[in-house]
Amino acid sequence: MIRLLTSCWSRLRTTEEARRNVTILFIGLDNSGKTVLVEAFQRLLPSRIDNCVQSGLTTLLLDEYEVSIYDLNGDRKGRETWPNYYARAHGLVFVLDSSDIERMQEVKIILTRLLSDKRVAGKPILLLANKQDKKNALLPCDIIEYLLLKRLVNEYDSLCRVEPCSAIRNLPRRNHQPIIKGLRWLLALCTRQPPPISNIPASRHSRRCGERCSSDRY
């Protein structure tokens, strides 16, 4: 029994030591559903047993990663604090409300300011196109055009992926798989040196009338 417990503890300690620590910022405008998405990750993924209580900070475990997530306020005053976190982040998740077309111009301005910051330039960004369940939600391919994403990520040498999602409390687990897939993509890029970007190809995805386009990545 003692030998068995020792073996189990040794494997557990090795697993903990092998985990890669990654820090991710969750940002986006107010009312984008950002915090609901963070709560979805908290339900879907295990957290550290010794997770310390700190406002806006969550530490979750996914595959070989230990992920520290900072959920930053998206109102005007909260956005002023974002730059204080840029240097410590390995990657970013930007959440936007796909159904709020009136604020797309504001999103574009903020994204441009974000990507142009030298502490962010070159870091991977996962853009979660939230509220796809809304009737008037923009498709990911339309969001790419609205925000001029291809030009932005080329100009500032950042890798970007757009993942459609719907952050609804008590949504079945299977409906949240796109955000887990997107997070895995982000973590993989955070822990390896991404290749230089010479040109961003146009989206390979086409859509018919009324058809949702799948995630696009550059």
Task: Establish if 120 belongs to a structural domain.
Answer: yes
Written as one letter, the residue type at 68 is S
- The predicted model scores a pTM of 0.81
CA atoms of 175 and 16, how far apart (whole Å): 29
Q: Has residue 1 got a pLDDT over 80?
A: no
- Is 31 labeled as ligand-binding? yes
Structure tokens at 213: 């386009």
- Quick one: pLDDT band at residue 13, thresholds 50, 70, 90? very low
- Is 81 labeled as ligand-binding? no
Q: In sequence order, what are the residues at sequence separation of 6 or more whose Cβ sits closer than 8 angstroms to the Cβ of residue 198?
A: none
Of residues 17 and 177, the one with the higher pLDDT is 177
CA atoms of 91 and 22, how far apart (whole Å): 8
- Is 32 labeled as ligand-binding? yes
Q: Find out whether 140 and 164 touch, Cβ atoms under 8 Å.
A: yes
Task: Establish if 147 belongs to a structural domain.
Answer: yes
- Is 132 labeled as ligand-binding? yes
pLDDT in tens, 109-147: 999 999 999 999 999 999 999 999 999 999 999 999 999
Q: Find out whether 110 and 19 touch, Cβ atoms under 8 Å.
A: no
* Residue 195: per-residue pLDDT: 38
CATH number of the CATH domain containing 180? 3.40.50.300
Q: In sequence order, what are the residues at sequence separation of 6 or more whose Cβ sits closer than 8 angstroms to the Cβ of residue 202?
A: 150
pLDDT in tens, 149-207: 999 999 999 999 999 999 876 666 666 788 999 999 999 999 874 433 333 333 333 33
Task: Establish if 5 belongs to a structural domain.
Answer: no
Q: Find out whether 97 and 33 touch, Cβ atoms under 8 Å.
A: yes
- Is 130 labeled as ligand-binding? yes
Percent of residues in the chain assigned helix, strand, coil, to nearest 5: 40, 20, 40
User: What is the span of the domain harbouring residue 154?
Assistant: 19-193
What number is the average pLDDT over the span 41-65?
81
Task: Establish if 205 belongs to a structural domain.
Answer: no
* Residue 56: per-residue pLDDT: 83
Task: Establish if 201 belongs to a structural domain.
Answer: no
Written as one letter, the residue type at 43 is R
Please state the domain count of the chain: 1
Q: Has residue 99 got a pLDDT over 70?
A: yes
Task: Establish if 91 belongs to a structural domain.
Answer: yes
Task: Establish if 11 belongs to a structural domain.
Answer: no
- Is 75 labeled as ligand-binding? no
Q: In sequence order, what are the residues at sequence separation of 6 or more whose Cβ sits closer than 8 angstroms to the Cβ of residue 114?
A: 27, 82, 92, 94, 120
Q: Find out whether 177 and 214 touch, Cβ atoms under 8 Å.
A: no
Task: Establish if 204 belongs to a structural domain.
Answer: no
